[in-house]
Structure 1
Amino acid sequence: MPKKLRSPGQKRRLWIRTAMILLAVITLSAVYFIKGPEQLKAIALVKQHSETQAAILSLDHSEEEYRTAKGRRRTRDVYTLTYRFALNGTDYQETFPISSSEYRALNGQETLPVWFIEGQPENSEPGLVVENRANESPMENVFDAVPYVAPLFLVLNFILTLLFGREPKGYMPEGFFTDDSWLDIEDDRLVAIDGKELLSIRFDKKNRDDVQSLYQQGGSIDQVLATSKCKQLRIGIDSIVGITSDHFRDTIHVRYMADGKEQSESLEFLNPTVKEHALKRIARALPSTLDMSTTRLTRLQAARPALIFGLIVAAGLYFLSDHFLILAVGVLILLTTVKTLLQRLFNPTVTTTFAIAARAAAPDVSGA
C-alpha cells in the first residue's frame, strides 16, 4: 500500500502531539527520580526530630462532593485527625488530613506520637504521617503527579495546535488535490467538479483516514461516498448565480438557484492557496452570464472588524479579570485577534466576485 501523504498541517499537529507526549514522559520521569520538597522535608524530620505523645480528640471520615473537568458531580472520602498535647505549660491542638490506611491504623487508639523540629512544637505532625511521606515510593509520586501533568500537557497541546497547527498558506500539498477535486482533511470536506455539477461532500471525522487513503490512491467520488458516512450536495454549475471569495480565506461562498429559490453553500478547502486553484477551475466552468469583479479594501477597512472585536474582548477582560479561566481564554482570543489585525493591515482584503452583470437602463427615445 502506498505511503499516506500528510499535509503540512498534519505534520505540524503530529510534531506538536509528539513533543507534548515526550515532555510529559520527561516530566513524569523527573518526578520518579527526583524527590519533591515535601518528601525531603519528611526525610529530614525522620532523621532529626523531637517527639511527644498527643491525645486523639477525633478521627473523622466524611464524603466530599466535587466536580470533574467535564462538570460531572463526584464524591470522595475525606479523613481527618484532630489531636492535642501539652508542652512546657502550653496546649497545642492540630487538625490534620490523613489517608485511608492511616485512618485504619489509628482507629481505636487514644494517643499517638507526634514529631516536630526542636523548639517548634506549633508545627507538629503525626509521626505515622511523616514516616509514610518519607517512605513514599517513586511510583506513588508519579501516580500523584499524573492528574496534574496530563491535563497540563493536554491544554498545551490544544493551545499550540490552535496557534501553530493550522494548515499554512502558500502550499499545494501533494495528495490533496487534482485538476477537478480538492480534499480538505482539516475540515472533513471534499469539493469536486463532476461534469456539469459542483459537488460538496462532508464526511465523518471518524472516516478521515479512510477517505484520505482512498483519495490519494486515486479512488473515485463514488468510492469515497461508499466508504464513509457522507452528506453530499450537488450544485448545477448552470444554476450558479454568484460566487464570492476573500483572498485570505480558505472558503468560497456560492449562491445558486434550486426549486426556484436562491440557496447558498460555503465550500471549504485545505488552505487559501488550494482555494485559489479551485476558484480558477470553477471559474472556467461558470456560465458566461457571470462577470468577474475584484474589490480591494484599504488597510483600515480590512482591519476594522478585527480592531472592533479586539477592543470588545479587551474591555471584557478588564471587567472579568478576576476569573482565571475566562482570563486565559480571553487572552488567547485577544492574541488571535491581534494576529488577524496585523495580517489585514499588512495584507488588506481582496474580494473576488462572480455575479450577473447589472444591465444598464435603456435610454428614453420617446422624446417625452
Structure 2
Amino acid sequence: MPGRCTYRLTSCWSLTRPSLRAQCRQSSTHVPGRILRGEHLGPTRADAHQTFRVRKDASAKELPLSPLLDPVVLEQRSRFEQTKERPKVAEFTPFQKKLWASPFAHALASPVRQCRATLISLPAAFLTSLHARPHPTTNDPWLLPVSLTTGKKHFGPPYRFAGRHLITAQLGKKKGWEKGIYGRMVEKFGGRALKQMVWREDMPELIVGLMRERLANKLSWNFEFRGRLIPVASPLSEDIENVGDVSCVLLFRSLRTRAHDLQGQAEGHGAELEKWSSYFGKNFAAKLDPHAAPWVTHHSPHWYSGPVVPRLQPRLQFPELEFHTTIWRGRKIAVYSLTDLLGENKAQVLIAGSKYADERCVVLKTARHNVPVGILLMQLQAYTAQPGL
C-alpha cells in the first residue's frame, strides 16, 4: 500500500553464502598452502603403486587419488629429484682421477651449444661467447667478450660462435653477425635495441688480445716458483720419457717455418684464381650453360645455379688443421709454443722474469689446478690456427 514500507525477501543463495565462506575459511586454515598428506586426505587405502579413497558405499568403484596428492607417487618421484652428493675425490678410482685432471675431458663435458655462424653444435669450451653491454657514453648495446675479462658467469643471453679467428672476421663482414641473433636476445633487449647494437670492427684482434692476457695471467702462477714446471731439453720422446704425469709441453721458441711466410702468397694466388673463375662463369654463361643451346627444349632443374667452371678444390683452399704433438709413453701429448700463442713480446716478459729464463722448454704436469691452463692453451691455439700450417 502507498506510504508503507515494503520488505524484500532475501534469496536462498544469499543465505547460503556466509556458510560457504565459513567452510572455505575452515578448509584454508586446515590446509595452510601445503600438500595434503596422511589423515588430512581422509580415509584412504594404499597399495604398492597408488592410493585410493575409501568409499562409504562398499559396492562403489574405488576412486584413486590424483598423482599430485598421492603420497605413494610423490615418494617414488622424489627419488629421482633428490640432489646428488658432491663427488668425493679421495674415493676416486685411478680412471676417475685421470678424468678429473684432464683438460680435454673438462672441455668435452661443457654444455653443448649451437654456433650461430655454422649452426653446428659444439661443447661450449670450443665456442666464443659475446654478451651485450651498454656503451658508457651512448648507452647503445655493444657485443663484447666480457666473459674473458671477469670470472662472473651470468651476463644474460650470449651470442656464441666457433672459436676461430676466420669465423670472427667473416661475421664482421657486411654485418653477417645480425643473421645469428636469436629470440632470447630479442625478448631481453627488444627489437629496437638490437637495431642499435654495435659490432666492433677490431673484434678478431680484441678477442685474441684478451685470450692472450688471460693465458699469461694463468701461466704466471706456474712460472713464479721453481718446481711447478719441469724443465726438459726438448719435446722429443726420449727427453720427456722419464717425466711422470705429462699434460703438455710448453716450448719457448717459435714453431713457425718457411711455409708460414709463404701462406700470404698462397692465399693471394687462390683469391686470384677464384676471381677469374667467377668472371668467366658470369660473362660467358651463354656459351658455358648447357641449357642455353637452341636445340635444348627442357628447362634447367631447380638445383642448377649456373655453369660449372674450373675452381680450386675446397680441400686445397681449406685443408685440415694440424697441431704439433709429441709422443709420451705411447700416447700423443700437445706441444704449445708460447712465442706463437702469446706473441714475442708478451712471451719474453713472462719467461725472462721467471725461474725458467735459461730453459728451452718445460713440461706442464697433469693436475686438477692445471686444467684451466690446459683449456686456455687449447682455445687460443684453435683460435689462431690457420689452414695448411
Which TM bucket (shorter chain)? under 0.3
TM-score after normalising by structure 1: 0.23
Rg (Cα) greater in structure: 2
Q: TM-score, normalised by structure 2?
A: 0.22
**Which structure exhibits the higher relative contact order, with contacts defined as CA atoms closer than 8 Å and separated by 6 or more residues?**
2
